[in-house]
Structure 1
Amino acid sequence: MNKAMLKQYSILVEFLGKALGPSYEITLHDIGDYTNSVVAIANGHISGRTIGAPLTNFCLSVIADKSYKHSNYKLNYNGVSKDGKILRSSTIFIKDENEELVGMLCVNFDDSKYVDISKQLLSLCHPDELIEQKTTYESVNSILDDGGESFSESVAEVTETVLNRVLANNNIPIERLTHEERLSVVDILNQKGVFMLKGAVSEVAKQLHCSEPSIYRYLSKLTKDKENS
């Protein structure tokens, strides 16, 4: 993202943060640096992030699968804050004159207090009835399993979030992974864009209980297999 765009969108972040109020977090990502991509943020208390935080798992996936090429934005998907609150998120893809992705502007809405107020009002209207409010997801984990966004302050947190989900989905305990299973896990992490983050190889090696050279060998084999397929 060039300086002019950075300045313009940073002002927009500040404006939207004040105009929409403290229940809306506005975040600007510059994808020139995946590891320190947050360059402007308003109401960061919602996710607990600050300037310099890395790309989220959602942003990495968008870059890895190039879905931004077929759309200008994604609306109303779920995210999870560090304290477990379910957020409603939307992201616009910022592109240059060649339609290449240079940044993302994200809006994360925390509606928890409004949900609480609505429940209280309903209980006043129907004091003798059991009020049940259905939600789209049963838990935070179900949101993450469905590809929801997790907001992290470090590469370690991003890697751990994605890795834990991959292992949980495949019902595989880390200590019992075979060589082929480790290769499969690394392949999935690579498809999700995790290794675009600086330091991700080290974190994955640590969490998979293997060496960094092993991770590089897995990645090399995956590249060769893809070239030969």
Structure 2
Amino acid sequence: MNDDMNLDFLKRLAKGIVNHFGSNCEVVIHDLKSDSLQKTIIEIENGHVTNRKIGDGASHIVLDTINNDNDSLEDSIGYLTKTHDGRVLKSSSIYIRDENKEPIGIFCINYDVTELTIAENSIKSLLNHKDEKKEVEEIPQNVNDLLDNLIEQSVKMIGKPVALMSKEDKIKSIQFLNKAGAFLITKSGDKISKYFGISKYSIYNYIDVKR
């Protein structure tokens, strides 16, 4: 994404948003045209919210964007995410598109609602004994954390540890990782093959298995 007038406007917009909403609000701009998934963040305000900085790497939404058809991509507003240390964020991700409507960047807003969530849960506990738990997405600090998180999701999907997985279970996990874009991450094949106790050759075979 070129450093043109539009990018200058987005940077000023990011600064304006965090100044308006305060230190709990983070704004991040990802460059989808970056040469490396490890360096997609070209602007970040209040990076202490997720402990990231300019030059850091991709998040889940970046992988989803690269790994999916442009026509299926839609802005996501007001969904829940969480940080590496467990704080809850209310997030919105808006695609930056060029004159041909191709996505070239993502403008992300992350607001730390942890304290508000704690207060909400305290009020709910007084009014209702029903415990409702929702799975929320974790925002990784770097691509290594992102890969670890995707592997963890693949194991959760199967519902058993790797040591107890059958070949069929591992095929499902590998295909989940492929669909999630895990293999776009540099040297991910080495880590995934070691984690599941299979060869890199088996990974490619598992990906191609028809289901």
Q: Percent identity?
A: 23
Q: 1:2 is matched with which residue? A: 2
After the TM superposition, which residues 75-86 of structure 1 pair with which residues of structure 2 at under 5 Å, given as runs? 75-86=77-88
Q: 1:162 is matched with which residue? A: 150
Aligned pair in 2 of structure 1 residues 136, 203: CA closer, same or farther (>3 Å)?
farther
Contact 2:37 / 2:143 at 8 angstroms: preserved in 1? no
Q: 1:207 is matched with which residue? A: 195
After the TM superposition, which residues 27-42 of structure 1 pair with which residues of structure 2 at under 5 Å, given as runs? 27-32=28-33, 33-42=36-45
Q: Residues 53-90 of structure 1: CA distance to partner in whole angstroms, max 9, x if unpaired?
A: 32222332244333x63565211111011121221111
Q: 1:93 is matched with which residue? A: 95
Which amino acid is the alignment partner of residue 13 of structure 1? Answer: A
Q: 2:163 is matched with which residue? A: 175
**Alignment partner for residue 58 of structure 2, among 52, 55, 58?**
55
Aligned pair in 2 of structure 1 residues 165, 109: CA closer, same or farther (>3 Å)?
same
Aligned pair in 2 of structure 1 residues 200, 136: CA closer, same or farther (>3 Å)?
farther
Q: Structure 2: how far apart are the matches of 1:84 and 1:55?
A: 19
**Unpaired segments of 5 or more residues in structure 1?**
123-129
TM-score of the pair, normalised by structure 1: 0.76
Q: Structure 1: how far apart are the matches of 2:37 and 2:175?
A: 19
Q: Structure 2: how far apart are the matches of 1:105 and 1:18?
A: 16
Moved more, 24-33 or 200-209: 200-209
Aligned pair in 2 of structure 1 residues 205, 134: CA closer, same or farther (>3 Å)?
farther
Q: Structure 2: how far apart are the matches of 1:27 and 1:16?
A: 11
Q: Structure 1: how far apart are the matches of 2:93 and 2:143?
A: 21
Contact 1:57 / 1:194 at 8 angstroms: preserved in 2? no
Moved more, 154-163 or 195-204: 195-204
Contact 1:49 / 1:151 at 8 angstroms: preserved in 2? no
Total equivalences in the alignment: 207
TM-score of the pair, normalised by structure 2: 0.82
Q: 2:126 is matched with which residue? A: 131
**Unpaired segments of 5 or more residues in structure 2?**
none
Q: 1:125 is matched with which residue? A: none
Shift of 1:91: 0.7
Tell me whether 1:143 sits opposite 2:135 in the alignment: yes
Shift of 1:206: 3.1
Aligned pair in 2 of structure 1 residues 28, 49: CA closer, same or farther (>3 Å)?
same
Aligned pair in 2 of structure 1 residues 54, 205: CA closer, same or farther (>3 Å)?
farther
3-state SS in 1 of match to 2:89: strand
Shift of 1:25: 0.9
Q: Structure 2: how far apart are the matches of 1:199 and 1:207?
A: 13
Q: Residues 6-44 of structure 1: CA distance to partner in whole angstroms, max 9, x if unpaired?
A: 443233323322232111111111112323211111111
Contact 2:84 / 2:140 at 8 angstroms: preserved in 1? yes
Shift of 1:186: 1.3
